[in-house]
Structures are given as C-alpha cells and as structure tokens.
Amino acid sequence: MNPIEINPEQDKVHDADQKIIPNGGWRAGQDGDVEAGKSSENKEDSDSTEVNKTPDSDVAKEADHQINCNGHNKYIPTSKAQVPLPKPEPPKPKMERSQSLSIAESMPLIGKYIRDRSSSFSAAIMNRLSSLKEGSGDFVLKNDSLNFEVTEFKIPGVKVIVKLKSEEERLEDQIRGRITLFTKSNCEHSIAARQFFKEKGLRYVEINIDVFTKSGNELMERTESCEVPQIFFNDSLIGGLATLKSLSESGELHEKMKELLGPKCPEEAPKVPVYGINDEEDKEDELVGVVRFLRQSLPIQDRLIKMKMVKSCFAGPDVVEAIINHLDCGRRKGIATAKMMAQKHFIHHVFGENDFENGYHYYRFLEHEPFIMGCFNFRSSTNDNEPKPASFIADRLSKLMFSIVEMDGYVSDDRLHVDYFRISKSEEFRRYIKLTRDLQRINLQLFTPNERLAFFLNLYNAMVIHAVISIGHPEGILDNKAFFLDFQYVIGGYPHSLSIIENGILRNNRKSPFSLTKPFSKEDRRLHLVPMRVNPLIHFGLCKGTRSSPKLRFFTAHNVEDELISAAKDYFQSEGIKIDRELRTVYLTRIIKWFSQDFGGQEKEILEWVLNYLEGRNAKLLKTMLGDGDLITIVYQDYDWSGNL
C-alpha cells in the first residue's frame, strides 16, 4: 500500500484516484451488478445519487466538509466537537487490462488526447501494412502462432509489439456476472478466500456480515447456515474455501466460471448492501418521554453554589415535583424515576456527589455538562435511545475495527502504515462513528475484567484513527498535549480522553510521563473502571498513530491476554530491542523508559521482564548477559513521532 502524504494538496486529489481498490478486490457497492463496461464517472454519479437519498445525507455532506477543511496536515485545536457521520463512498473496482474502461473516461483531457492520437497512429499502421507487397522484405512477421505470447511486427522506422491476452484475461472478457463473497471479521478462512481472488486477479463483491448485519439473514436463508466464507457465482452457491480450492486444483474453476458467470448477473443473486444505510434498529429509552418533558418545563439557569458559578442547573425538588405532575404518581415513584434517570446518565449531580438523593441538591442534563461540546461522539444532542448492552457494543466495535485492518488498501500488510484518508471514506468507519454515540450512556460496570481490557484497548486504537482523521497528526509538544488530552469521547456519562484511557484506566490511575498528578482524584466517579493491577503488556497493544508505535491491532475479550503476549513478542522481534554483547549494551524502546514503573522500575527487573518475551538469538544473548552478573547498560532509542502513514 502506498501511504498517503499529509499536505495541503491532499484534498485536491481527484475522487476517481482515491477510490480504486487495489489487486482486483471490489467491495460491496450500490449497484446490483458489476459491469466492466461502466465508466468510472458514471459509477461515481450513481453512487453519490444513491447515498444522498439516505437519512444521513446532510450529515454526510458536513463530514466531507470537515475532512476536507481539516485535512491531515495541520492540527486544529477544538473546543466544539460536534462530529457528524462521514459520507461513505463505495470502493471502485481496479481497472484490469481486460476491462473496456476508456482511459479518456477517467482522465478526460489527457485521455482524450491519447485516444485520438492512438487512433490516428493505428490507422497509419494499417495503411502501411496494406501497402506492403508480399515478399518485399519490408514486413517481417515473427511468432504468429497463438501458442506464443508475443507477436512482433517490424516496419521500417516503426516497431509494434502486441502482447496477447493471458488465459485469465480472456476469461475476464467472457464474465458478465458477479462473484459474491460472504465474509466475517477476524476470520482466517475469510482472509484466505479474499487472498485467493486477489492472487487470481478476479473481481468480486465482498459482503462482510459483521459490517452489514442484515446480509447475515440473507446468507442464512440461502445456505441455512452462517458459516463463512460462502461464494456465489451469480445466483448459484459454489460453497466455501475448500470447494473453491478444489475447483482450482482440478482445473474446473474456469469452466465453472464461464458456465455460471457468462450471463449478466440476475436479480436473484445475493443483494449488494447499500452504503449509507443503517442496519441496526434503535429503540427509544423508556424514560425519554419524561426527560423531554423535564427539558422543557424545569427552571434551568445559572446558580451560585458553594461559592462557584454553576451553569444550566436545576434543583432536585423541582425534578421530583415535575415528574409527579407529569406521571400523576406519588412522591416515592417520582424519586425512583429521578434516580433511574441519573443511573442512565440523563442527569448528573453538578459536583458528582451522588446519583440522585431526595433533598436540596442541584443537577443538570448531560447535554449541559461543560465537557460535552469537546466530545467527538456528541452531535448537537445526546443519544436518547435505550442503552445497548456493554458486551454488544464491545463486540460490534471490535468487528468493525477488524474489518478495517483486514480490508485491502486501508492498512499495510505489516499493519505499520495506515491510509487514514481512505478509512475516513469507508462504510466501516461511518458505522463506527454511529456506534460511538451508543457509548454516551453505556453501563461500563457490566464488563468482566477481560472484556474491559479488550474494550479499552480497541477503543483507544479506534479513537486514535478518529483523531487523526478529524484533527490531524500532532506536530509538536503542544499538539501532543491537545491530541492525547483534548480529543475526548463521552463514555458512560463522563469524558474520556486518550490519556485518561491509557493512564487512568489501563495503567491503574498512574501518572503519565511528565505529569505531576494522577488522572483521577479520590472522588472521581470513573475510579470503578480501574483494574486491580497494571498489565505492562498493554503498551504493546496501544497504537498512537506514530512510526515508533506498535502495529495497529485489535483484540478479542476471550483471548486478549494471549494476543497481548503475541503483540509484545512481535514488537521486540522487529525493532523494540537491540543487543550489543561486546559493549554489554541493550538498546530498548523509549516506551519502556517512559513507563518504567510498569516494568519493575529497576534496570535489572526491566531486563528480566523483557527476557520473557524474547525469542531466538536475542533471548540467548540477554539470558547469558544476565547470568554473568556483570553490569549491563540500557540505552533507550529515540522515538519517532511522525505519523504512521
């Protein structure tokens, strides 16, 4: 993958150049059929028309404006972070040799010129050939058999070499139908099927049922199973990866493709999901009627409380009286309803002293909290839908992120480079942005320890992607502070920055490097999220969007410990350590220096910890050096803060 460059000219790149999926892999688009004869311009027009019909069309336009204005080259500090959903753009197919796409259609000016000149040149060659006399010696024909790959013509002053189409290219000319591939995120067989089509150079439409959830129902209806991958040639089910490989090894694959894919794709074929349409159905919270009434009827105003000016608050007794009058109920039910509103984060105590208590206390709505306008998952109003289960949101988050890193063209094969611009235009990212609104009133107390660990690791890495897309890579010390402290989500009713997640939650409320205070005070209501102990392996699962960061990874709750161990071993294997036995010097990543407390603090303890995750030559060298008992010098490598583009 060629990483994009961050510069002011980025936004001027023609859309047709930004949407091509490399290596022949087509994603699910808006057109039911994939036809080689369609021009890229016409396809783009049809896509934009379809997407603009969706409920999020206005929001999508605002997102395009935000991305084009902010770009990726300049950090823009923000005080208001009302981030709209991005406008998704279905990927365009790679232009193969066998496709009849005109160059002039994708590059109107230069392409038209080349086409006209080529036509004139071809006509001149044909006229010259027709004027040659047989046996004159001016015309030489070599390798005219179709068994040869190249036919060569020699004309005085001109040499024309015609390369005959390969068998795969001739097969592509005969295919007018569609290959449909059903996949899931983080599935080895799905990845292998995707790679199979990529190596064969075959076009296909991929439908990830973890992204397009309604497509899972269609797969169940057609196959009576949700097992993936499943391959369809037009409307005919071929089977899974094993069947595909068997057909290829027996030489029957091409004949099967000619037979089933020769006709144009019928309407009975699997439906291609439409980009910009939400599959999930949201249900309004049962208390939303009461909340809406209170928003309109309560005396909300600024008040001087405990020698502090508190904005947009209201008194607890006023809440209870309003609920009693609205529901025509007793005081006990009125107080219970107010407590339920506080537990669901519709309202908060202005100083965080309680959820809700009967007495003269002051509260305010979540949308009036001072931090809310700086949260990037807040859009003009809070999410009033019934909060989804925490485990559901965590699982959905991981599947969307896995689909991004697995999609060809978004992240490099070694996962060290990320194409943030292409991700920003993807359907997966659009759905992720919508999912972040469900975090506003999530109940984080329902997580198991492993679920909480995987959730916050995944959320941190996803937030970094969102931060780079929204405000760009930080370029200095002040930008680093704003990037890691000011970019926030409202999660479970309270603000969470990248620094809060890393140091407050994952590191057991420890000071960040160069900080004098802990993230959480003793009264902070987020303290319940802090784990019992620090797991140093988290530092090899967090990708900060820099070149010295570990690879971009996402984790599963049931296997997060093993996946973190694998991440640490991989980091030390690639660049995290260098050992010079003669100088008795160990060169370590600066990450360990910054967070030395997590690795034991003392140099010997740090090296003993590192030894557990080394393999091969480095493991033998370090073990020998530690066994000698002589002094070992640790040198910390420079950290490259430039973007992992």
What is the CATH number for 308?
A: 1.10.10.10
178-232 pLDDT, tens per residue?
999 999 999 999 999 999 999 988 889 999 999 999 999 999 999 998 899 999 9
The pLDDT value given to residue 14: 41
pLDDT average, residue stretch 91-119: 51
Q: Is the pLDDT of residue 48 over 60?
A: no
Pair (552, 581) in one structural domain: no
pLDDT band of residue 277 (cuts 50, 70, 90) is confident
Both 356 and 410 in a single domain? no
| C-beta of residue 53 within 8 angstroms of C-beta of residue 74 | no
- Judge if 339 and 436 occupy the same domain: no
Last residue of a domain, one of 562, 594, 617: 562
Looking at the domain assignment, is residue 537 inside a domain? yes
Average pLDDT of the residues in 608-612:
96
For residues 533 and 558, membership in a common domain is answered with: yes
Q: pLDDT tens digits, residue range 580-590?
A: 999 999 999 99
Candidates 158, 216, 157; CA nearest to 185 is 216
Cα(492)–Cα(73) distance, rounded to whole angstroms?
Answer: 32
**pLDDT score of 102 more than 90:** no
Give the per-residue SS3 of 520-563. CCCCCCCHHHCCCCCCHHHHHCCCCCECCCCCCCCCCHHHHHHH
pLDDT for residue 42: 43
Residue 329 lies in a domain: yes
106 falls within a domain: no
- 530, 562, 594: which is the final residue of a domain? 562
Do 481 and 419 reside in the same domain of the chain? yes
Residues 194 and 256 in one domain: yes
Q: What is the pLDDT of residue 54?
A: 42
User: Is residue 541 within 8 Å of 564, Cβ to Cβ?
Assistant: yes
Query: How much helix, strand and coil, in percent to the nearest 5, is found in the chain?
Result: 45, 15, 40
pLDDT interval class at 276 (50, 70, 90): confident
CA–CA separation, 540 and 589 (whole Å): 11
pLDDT tens-digit readout, 417-433: 999 999 999 999 999 99
pLDDT at 502: 97
Out of 562, 597, 617, pick the residue that ends a domain.
562
Structure tokens at 19: 């949407």
Query: Is residue 519 a part of any domain in this protein?
Result: yes
Distance of alpha carbon 466 from alpha carbon 397, whole angstroms? 13
pLDDT tens profile 623-632: 999 998 889 9
Q: Note whether 186 and 240 are same-domain residues.
A: yes
Q: What is the model's pLDDT at position 90? A: 60
pLDDT tens sequence across 118-167: 666 666 666 655 555 444 454 454 544 444 455 555 667 676 676 766 66
Domain that holds residue 193: 168-262
Residue 413 sits in the same domain as residue 446:
yes
% of the chain surpassing 90 pLDDT:
62
Q: How confident is the model at residue 168 (pLDDT cuts 50, 70, 90)?
A: low
Q: What is the domain count for the chain?
A: 4
Considering just the CA atoms, what is the radius of gyration of the chain in Å? 30
Structural domain contains residue 383: no
Categorize the per-residue pLDDT at 12 as very low, low, confident or very high, splitting at 50, 70 and 90.
very low
Residue 164's nearest CA partner among 179, 183, 144 is 144
Flag whether pLDDT at 169 surpasses 70.
no
Return the bridge partners of 490, or none: 495
CATH number at residue 256: 3.40.30.10
Residue 543, helix vs strand vs coil: coil
The span from the CA of 530 to the CA of 606, in Å, is: 24
Regarding whether 442 and 323 lie in a shared domain, the answer is no
439 close to 377: Cβ distance less than 8 angstroms: yes
Work out the average pLDDT over 399-408: 93
Tally of CB atoms within 10 A around 546: 17
Q: What is the largest CA-CA distance in the chain?
A: 111
Q: What is the mean pLDDT of residues 316-321?
A: 96
For residues 305 and 350, is the Cβ–Cβ distance under 8 A? yes
Do 405 and 487 sit in the same domain of this protein?
yes
Residues 421 and 364 in one domain: no
Count Cβ atoms within 10 A of the Cβ of residue 10 and give its class: 0-12 exposed, 13-18 middle, 19 or more buried: middle
Whether 153 maps to a domain, the answer reads: no
The arithmetic mean of pLDDT across residues 94-117, rounded, is 49
Q: Is residue 222 part of a domain?
A: yes
Highest mean pLDDT among 68-72, 112-116, 572-576: 572-576
Residue 172 confidence (pLDDT): 66
233: which strand partners? 179, 236
Q: Is residue 48 part of a domain?
A: no
Whether 555 and 498 share a structural domain: yes
Beta bridge partners of 159: 154
Q: What is the mean pLDDT of the chain?
A: 82
Helix, coil or strand: residue 180: strand
Cross-strand pairs, 309: 304
